[in-house]
Amino acid sequence: MPTINLLSREISELIAAGEVIERPSSVIKELIENSIDAGSRHITVEIKRGGSTFIRITDDGCGIAFDDVPKAFLRHATSKITTKDDLNSILTLGFRGEALASVCAVSKTEIITKQAEDELGTHYIIEGSDEVLHERTGCPDGTTIIIRDLFYNVPARQKFMKKDSVEGNMVCGIVNKIALSHPEIAFKLLRDNKLEFSTSGDGKLYSAVFAVYGKAFAGDMIPVEYEQDGIKIHGFTVKPLYSRANRTFQNFFVNSRYVKSQVCASALEEAYKGTVMTGKFPACILMIDIAPDVVDVNVHPAKVEIRFSDDRPVYDCMFFAVKSALMKAGLVYDFQLKQQTIAETSQETYIQPKLPETAPKQEKQDMIPEVPETEKNQGRFAEKNIALTTQSSPVVSYSSPAPVKAPEVPETKEPAEETTYTSLPPCTEDKYRTEGNTASENYIREIRKEIKEETETENTDNSSDNSSEVFPEEDSLTSKYSFINSNDLKKKDPEVTPDPVLEKPKLKYIGEAFKGYIIAEAEEKIIIMDKHAAHERIIFEKLKSEDRDPASQLVLCPEGVLLSLDEAHALEENTKVLENMGFKLDFANSPYISVKAIPTIIAHLNMDEIIPELADNFRKNMRDPRPEAIDDILHTIACKAAIKMNDSNNDTELSKLAEEVYFNDRIRHCPHGRPVMFVISKYELEKQFRRKV
Ligand code: ADP
Ligand code: MG
C-alpha cells in the first residue's frame, strides 16, 4: 500500500503558483491589477528579456503598511473581501489573495512600498516564499515591486517559456489591453529600456486608443454609446472595411476588466454581418458596464473568459449598440450582393451545366461588394465612393461605375465523352495523368473536387458582362497589368525565357471567349486558356522566384498599417523572405508597420489588406515555416493581383499573356492546381470533322 504524505509547504506553494502564474505576462497582469486596485494614477511597467529576468512595476497607489507586507505574500491574504457577501459585489480586479503568494513562490521578489500617512516605507525581499529582508526604508508613496528570475526554481516551467521576443509581445499585449481599460490611469511600458508606449491618463478612451493603436486606427473608429436592460456599452468599433484577418483587435471590457467573451464577439460579428468579408473580423474597443452580480466572478483569475448569468441581454445590447453605431455612421446596410460571377458559374457549369440563378444566393450575402479594380487603385476604397442605402431591399451601387448586373452565361457543356483534350506534353506537374484514364478525365475529376473546396475560399471578382457600364477605360486597365507591357517582357524571368538557340514557335492569338478564355493557335494546336488562372500563376512564379531581384517599387508616401504585436513580430522575423518577394517594411514604429516598397506586380493592390493577410499567415506558420506556408501566402497575393474573369482586357494584353504562359512549360496549372489551359490538336479537330479517321 502506498503511504499518503502531506506535501511540504514548498511543493504545495509551487503547485498552487503554477495555476496562477504561467508566464511573465500573467505575473504582470496580476501586478498591474493590484496597482489599479490600490487606486494608482500612474503605473509604469518595465521588463527585460521578455520579463523572464526582470519585471518592475511602479505605482503611486495606497501602498501597504509595514506589518501587512509579509501577510500580503501569504496565500488567501487579501484586503479586498472580508465576508462572503462581498463576493457578490466584487468590483476590484483581484480578490483571491493568491497573486503575490504565487509570484513570490517562483521568483526572487522585492517590494518597496509606503502609505501616504506613514513617514517611512517598507523594504521587503522574499525568494521562493522565504523571507530574506523586512525593514523600514525611506521611499516615495506607492509601491514598487520587482520580480527577478521568474521560475528560477521551477526548471520544468522555464522550458515552456517561449523566446524572449514572444514573451515580450505577450506582455505588451496585456499591458495594451489594461491601458485601454483604464484611460484614467497613465500607463508607461518600457521594454529592454525602450519606451513601447505611454498613455496620458486623461480619462478619455479615445486618447488611450490613440496611444496604444496609433493615429490611423483611431481615425477609423466609430463611437458606440448604448444602454439597454441596465447594461451600458460604450467605446469604439471600426469602419467595416477596416476589419482584420483575426480577432486580435477585438477588445471587450466588462466593468473595466479585459475579458474574452464568445457572447460579445458573436453579437459584434452579427452586427457587422454583410459588411465584412467572410474570414475577416471587425476590431473594437468596447466597455460593458453591467451589475456585478450577473457576472460570474468565480472564474479562475488567470483566465480571461467571462460568464454571464444570462447571455441574452448582453448579446442583444451588444448587437444593437454596434448595429446602431454603424447605422448612425451610415455604414451598415443590407445589400443585394453581386450576382453570381462568370467565374463562379463557369465553375458550376463545369460540374453541372446550368444557367446561373438570377437571384443572389442567401449565403453569399456575407460577402463584401466587389469594387472594380480601378476604384481600389485609389487607395482603400473609400466609403464615400459607395452609395449605401439602408432601406429594405437596396442594391449597393457605386458612384462610378454603374451597378453590377448578372452576367449572361452561355450554356457550357462538359466535354463530350468521345472528345479527348490532351494536356500539353512537357508538363512536370501533370499529376492528373494516371493509367487507364485520359488526362482530361482525371483533370475533371480532380478539378471538381478542388473547385468545391476552393469556392469556399477563393474570392472571384467582377460580375457583369456589360463592359461599357462596368469597366473603366482600357488604358487604365492596361497600365495596371504592367507585367504585360513590353518592357516587362524584355526583362523576363530567366526561367520563363525559352532557349534562345531554338527557334521559337509562333503563337497566333485568335480571340477571347466569354470574357475569360483566351483562344490561340500554335504548333498545330488550338489553345484555350483561363486568363485569370494563367495570370495568377505567372504572378505566383514571379513572386516565388527568390533567386532573382524581385521587381520592387518604392512607395512614395509610405503607407502605415497597424498590426497586432504578434503579427508585426512574425513579419519582422521574416524580413528576408519578404525582401525576396519585393516587400520592404519599416518596423521602427512596430506594430505600426510602414510599407516602403512593394512588389511591382501588386502595386495596384491595397496594402491595408495585403499586409495584415501576409502577417496573419506568417504568424500562424511562425513555428513551422514550411515552404507550402509561404506558397499559400503567395497564392493569396497572386490571386488578388491577377486579372479576373469578366475584366476587359485588350487583345495585345491577352496575346502577350498567352505567349508568356504557353512558352513556359512550368505553367500548366494555376497555383490552386486548376488547369491553366487545354489544347485541342489539329489532328483531333480533323478527326471530329471526319477528315481523318
Ligand atoms: P488580491 O489582489 O487577490 O487581494 P494579491 O496576492 O494580489 O491578492 O495581493 C494581496 C494584497 O496585497 C492585496 O489584497 C492588497 O491589499 C496588497 N497589495 C498588493 N499589491 C499592492 C499594491 N501595488 N499596492 C497596494 N497594495 C497592494
Ligand atoms: Mg491581486
Question: What is the per-residue burial (b if ≥16 Cβ within 10 Å, else e) of 510-527?
Answer: bebebbbbbbbbbeebbb
* Atom of ligand 1 at shortest range from CA of 59: 23
DSSP string, 28-49: HHHHHHHHHHTT-SEEEEEEEG
C-alpha distances in Å from residue 191, one per residue of 27, 50, 484, 638: 15, 8, 48, 38
Cβ of residue 52 lying under 6 Å from some atom of ligand 1: no
Cβ of residue 31 lying under 6 Å from some atom of ligand 1: no
- The span from the CA of 495 to the CA of 93, in Å, is 62
How many whole angstroms from 11 Cα to the centroid of ligand 1?
23
Q: What is the pLDDT of residues 339-388, one digit of tens each?
A: 333 333 333 322 222 322 333 333 333 333 333 333 333 332 233 222 22
Q: Can you give the pLDDT at residue 202?
A: 95
Closest CA to 338 of 602, 646, 607: 646
* Atom of ligand 1 at shortest range from CA of 57: 23
C-alpha distances in Å from residue 171, one per residue of 28, 31, 41, 176, 493: 7, 12, 20, 8, 45
Closest CA to 325 of 265, 237, 254: 237
How many whole angstroms from 34 Cα to the centroid of ligand 1?
5
Full-model pTM: 0.58
Q: What is the pLDDT of residues 640-659, one digit of tens each?
A: 888 888 888 889 889 988 88
CB 133 within 8 A of CB 121: no
Closest CA to 231 of 286, 164, 194, 273: 286
Instruction: Tell me: pLDDT of 629 over 90.
Output: no
Nearest CA to ligand 1 atom 1: 97
Q: Can you give the pLDDT at residue 447?
A: 37
Q: What is the pLDDT of residues 550-598, one digit of tens each?
A: 677 787 777 788 888 888 888 888 888 888 878 889 988 888 888 888 8
Q: Can you give the pLDDT at residue 78?
A: 77
DSSP string, 617-663: HHHHTTT---HHHHHHHHHHHHHHHS--TT----HHHHHHHHHHHHT
The neighbouring-strand residues paired with 221 are 238
Phi and psi at residue 152, to the nearest 5°: -60, -25
H helix or E strand, kind and range, residue 69 = helix 68-72
CB 328 within 8 A of CB 632: no
- Mean pLDDT value across the chain: 72
Q: What is the pLDDT of residues 355-367, one digit of tens each?
A: 223 333 333 333 3
Cβ of residue 301 lying under 6 Å from some atom of ligand 1: no
How many whole angstroms from 210 Cα to the centroid of ligand 1?
30
Cβ of residue 176 lying under 6 Å from some atom of ligand 1: no
Instruction: Tell me: pLDDT of 393 over 50.
Output: no
